[in-house]
Structure 1
């Protein structure tokens, strides 16, 4: 592993492969028209942002779309339904500290992603970055891990959506699965702007609900509901600010806090997807970093405020927090509202949770299809996945995604659904693998800059603290990945299924990495060979690389949501 962080020898062919994608190929036209009027694309052509992306993908995502995709990725069912489990496991203060630490990690990851994406705004984001900055074998391993995880996530989110719909109706689940698959396919094959508008609307709904439930929680806590006493920080004192988990005393409180952090990671899963469609984003070298920068404010406002309020209005010993029904009934906000006699809240929370689940499905489709497209550009996937429609959509990638979406019909059978979600759990660690790759890419970029004598200030976007925060995120993510299933190692809690779901992804990724290196004889990219100068030249010559004029009005300074 030391070679990943330090310079080492390399051969000419390896350098050509990393910098150009192929070895000594004759230049050919970027595409040809197929009989069906779709465009089939040939291999990479030597550019950082390839001609395939420039000519066959359409930049339909504007700055507001990218901003809201970041919000939609950070707010999901984990916030509305999962906070109760975190309070029950770690207590109000343990949950708050857990989300603070993981929030800091997410912010560090987003800064790393924004800095590298501003220089290399390619389809596939950090997967393609690993090809240039670390090792083609790592891009292959992590890329297929992302594709697999995203493609399996789609039917799981559709299944979760059906469960939420059945909160209101008893109509056969197959009907709702069919409707949701059709709608998802329509959005997936449409112009990328359609996806951006859908996520924009969903993000607005999520923001409004978060603001509403936080204010509602404060009103309930402060005794603003007739007949409900003022709570204040009562539940922080009784039963206490921490919960003993597995063990007793201080050690048990620490384990509860640690269990919250491992759960919080998956609540934030998806925030990295905002850069997956960089080649389909207008002015990506400015808009993507700007979206990444604002993650810290969103996490502070939404998650930390929500965790704080939930810990004030619901007891960590409330048995309803442990119910695993995956509907609004388990939401701590619904529990508090029901106790206060407010009956309309469950349906409101359930409706927005439904949009959150479907939004997560759409994000998985975008991340999975664009990663697969990026793998095909570099020859890590069949070239058939490079075919795009006249709207600039890699439709063959979408068709493969549709095939996986059909697995959602397994939710019709409870036994099949149990097995299916067990397989879904196998990809849970994939989020941490992706974050580790993002941090590693950024560390390698900074080392390459130093090796080549180029100032980081020449990057399209750079923040001085990232040279420290990327190491923090890398180390912290590795620790969480290795300890994510610590419960199974405690006395009396061994569970083979939990062990496999927590750790199987590690040998799968390492096996894919080692196998690719063994077959293709790739080497870790030399720091001197990282094509930074070429990337900077392409950025300078990019006609879309136009600095955004800052709005210095009062409202622009306090607008931390999408401006």
Structure 2
């Protein structure tokens, strides 16, 4: 019988009175089998419980998720979405992806509330599906996160070049050092830094939305009212790659593919669950609230951009990587509002820094979680006295030095090169989250446990997870569809769109063959053990807000 926490999911648990031949276990009552195989199972590993510090509060994790999702995709990429899909195509594309994000967030919230472990969905795959899947997805996320730090530092260098192109090596060094310090110091410091960044981004989003409305409605002196003029001419949709209705559909589909990466980072909300106060209460709340806020910001922003900039505007061809390519900057410049470019560039710079911090958190915590399950060297379990896995941080900082490649190859080129290597990782992570959730509900049904016993649940999530999984798979396999259009073949785009698929398959198959792992039968998923652990160690209830705190709509 499996009775040690690190062995959850590594092999099919069996008790002394259960013959491996399933035909001989028919005489056993299912409830008895589940009870015996889950006896002694520990969901939260003793090491993560003792060595990591629970220092992230509700406001931290909610604002961390907001900071991760509101970044360069919102400020710089909306112009490309408008140019590809038109104002209505862009709005529909972001709206549909927003619904997929909703499915992912609620699935992550329900699963993380029951299994609040370091590494989140990577460890969930190990517990609910197959340790080989946890290994494959975990190392895929680690690889993406480790490359994410130098790519974001390269992006930050591009943004700095908006003002000056002097001392690039100094800027890279400073950014690496600052990212390292945020990653190695008490995790509460990271939470406060990301909280501050998120507030700045939210203020800017609100500001550019108000500015966009003023420009559209003729509130800027000397500027006439625009209204829905650009929805009529050049029109609500754009023909992309091919003419006619098919071209308009392809434009809309391309917007959805690109929108996925604008929302990337939102899945890392619970990777530090073991470092979060009252995670069974705070993580679901964050998943619920962050989805609504992020989706609202994106959809309103896309709508406003479609009003103030025409989809055929030549200024949208700017691919400098600075604020100059932002449609908000394009509209503000033409309206004579001169301060906007530098303000947006400054906030996007904080976004790049914030994204590198988040990649550091995700990469180090998931690598730590892999080491807990013997899927990475034990040296990565070493922590500082204040609960930081410092070996993981040191390794990721060393990889961050790849950002110095930008000194010889051009910062923007290196940024896109590194980013392309991790392009499909977001969809792999989302699909894993949704599949984990589906397996959770299948196991509940198999074991006769009602959803009401879960610490957080919704009646519709089993259906939304299935629909969301279908969309994620569609997005994953059509991510590079443009290269299959006649005359548009591009080897680099093909590799960047589909590289992650064979990587995950090879990692999964290799670990499965090497360790001879098995897909965990639904009746042996340790749900009862998790519920018992939750009931044995109840969290202190979070007091309801009072006074002025009741007016707070952000966290």
TM-score (norm 2): 0.92
The equivalences for 1:112-127 within 5 A come to: 112-127=107-122
Instruction: Say yes or no: does 1:144 pair with 2:139.
Output: yes
Distance of 1:254 and 1:187 partners within structure 2: 44
Corresponding residue number in structure 1 for 2:554: 561
Q: CA RMSD in A?
A: 1.9
From 340, 360, 369, the equivalent of 1:365 is 360
Contact 2:228 2:307 (C-alpha < 8 Å) held by counterparts: yes
How much has 1:555 moved relative to structure 2?
Answer: 7.2
Distance of 2:145 and 2:357 partners within structure 1: 10
TM-score (norm 1): 0.91
How much has 1:296 moved relative to structure 2?
Answer: 3.1
Distance of 1:364 and 1:292 partners within structure 2: 19
Instruction: Say yes or no: does 1:175 pair with 2:164.
Output: no
From 5, 8, 11, the equivalent of 1:19 is 8
How much has 1:116 moved relative to structure 2?
Answer: 0.3
How much has 1:169 moved relative to structure 2?
Answer: 1.8
From 254, 260, 268, the equivalent of 1:265 is 260
From 396, 406, 411, the equivalent of 2:406 is 411
Aligned residues: 529
Q: For structure 1, list consecutive stretches of 5 or more residues without a partner in the other structure.
A: 1-11, 25-44
Distance of 2:415 and 2:313 partners within structure 1: 30
Corresponding residue number in structure 2 for 1:166: 161
How much has 1:293 moved relative to structure 2?
Answer: 0.4
Corresponding residue number in structure 1 for 2:251: 256
Flag the 1:170–1:100 CA change in 2: closer, same or farther, 3 A: same
Flag the 1:294–1:16 CA change in 2: closer, same or farther, 3 A: closer
Distance of 1:401 and 1:146 partners within structure 2: 13
Q: For structure 2, list consecutive stretches of 5 or more residues without a partner in the other structure.
A: 14-39
Corresponding residue number in structure 2 for 1:191: 186
Corresponding residue number in structure 2 for 1:65: 60
Corresponding residue number in structure 1 for 2:98: 103
Flag the 1:56–1:449 CA change in 2: closer, same or farther, 3 A: same
Contact 1:410 1:420 (C-alpha < 8 Å) held by counterparts: no
Corresponding residue number in structure 2 for 1:547: 541
1:367-386 deviations in whole A, cap 9, x for unaligned?
00000000000000000000
Contact 1:18 1:525 (C-alpha < 8 Å) held by counterparts: no
Contact 1:294 1:560 (C-alpha < 8 Å) held by counterparts: no
Compare 511-520 and 412-421 and name the one that shifted more. 412-421
Flag the 1:415–1:79 CA change in 2: closer, same or farther, 3 A: closer
From 520, 528, 534, the equivalent of 1:533 is 528
Contact 2:6 2:372 (C-alpha < 8 Å) held by counterparts: no
1:335-370 deviations in whole A, cap 9, x for unaligned?
000000110000000000000010000000000000
From 328, 338, 350, the equivalent of 1:333 is 328
The equivalences for 1:78-93 within 5 A come to: 78-93=73-88
How much has 1:432 moved relative to structure 2?
Answer: 0.1
Distance of 1:119 and 1:218 partners within structure 2: 43
